[in-house]
Chain A
Amino acid sequence: KAGVTQTPRYLIKTRGQQVTLSCSPISGHRSVSWYQQTPGQGLQFLFEYFSETQRNKGNFPGRFSGRQFSNSRSEMNVSTLELGDSALYLCASSLVGVNTEAFFGQGTRLTVV
């Protein structure tokens, strides 16, 4: 069974640009969550999607957005990139149901220059 797949693995962008990251969940998993990991702040929750609807959102500015498609694949977008957006962006998928384990992808390493 394939794991959570995130593309691309690495990305370099210039300040002010926008970026789109992609996540394909484990087959059968319909909940997708996104996290940002930085040395300064650790792992922080961005948002969660289920049935193409955002269910929860973390404390991030509106420049961070996401969406989920009918096949459960998800994308997140960051507009007007700032240097501080450089981070590892992780996607996790889980089965629908309260308190089920979340499985993470390898992440996308975004560097903003």
Chain B
Amino acid sequence: GESVGLHLPTLSVQEGDNSIINCAYSNSASDYFIWYKQESGKGPQFIIDIRSNMDKRQGQRVTVLLNKTVKHLSLQIAATQPGDSAVYFCAENTAGGTSYGKLTFGQGTILTVHP
């Protein structure tokens, strides 16, 4: 049959606003999570990661929050800029200690920042 593309969630914000991108992960045994940013024509770019023994981790203008009770991850971007416009993916390591690089990705969220 005809394939249907994923309908990605979208988030539109004004420049200077704070952005929050959410992600529900699937495996309660996952112990490592990463947020990636992907711009058109490029590969995913690492933003920030968090291990399951943490609830919060901050980077430069970004904060990741992890709620293991409800299997929820969020990425907060402070003072969003037009250059932040991209597709954002959360990823989880579902292979535990057996893998260094096997990640399961969420469907992605399209962030558009308006000047």
Q: Are A102 and B103 in contact (CB under 8 A)?
A: yes
Given known A-B contacts A40-B6, A99-B31, A99-B51, A104 and B45 have beta carbons under 8 A apart: yes
What total of chain B residues lie within 8 Å of the partner, measured CB to CB? 33
- Interface residue range, chain A: 35 or more
Instruction: Scan A77-112; emit 1 where CB is below 8 A from any B CB, else 0.
Output: 000000010000010111111111111111100000
- CB-contact partner of B101 in A33, A39, A44, A106, under 8 A: A33
Instruction: Scan A14-50; emit 1 where CB is below 8 A from any B CB, else 0.
Output: 0000000000000000011101000111111100101
Residues on B facing A (Cβ under 8 Å): 3-6, 31-32, 34, 36, 41-46, 49, 51, 89, 91, 93, 95-108
18 contacts between A and B (CB under 8 A): A6-B43, A40-B4, A42-B108, A43-B108, A45-B102, A45-B104, A50-B100, A55-B100, A55-B102, A56-B99, A96-B100, A97-B100, A98-B32, A99-B31, A102-B46, A102-B103, A106-B41, A107-B42
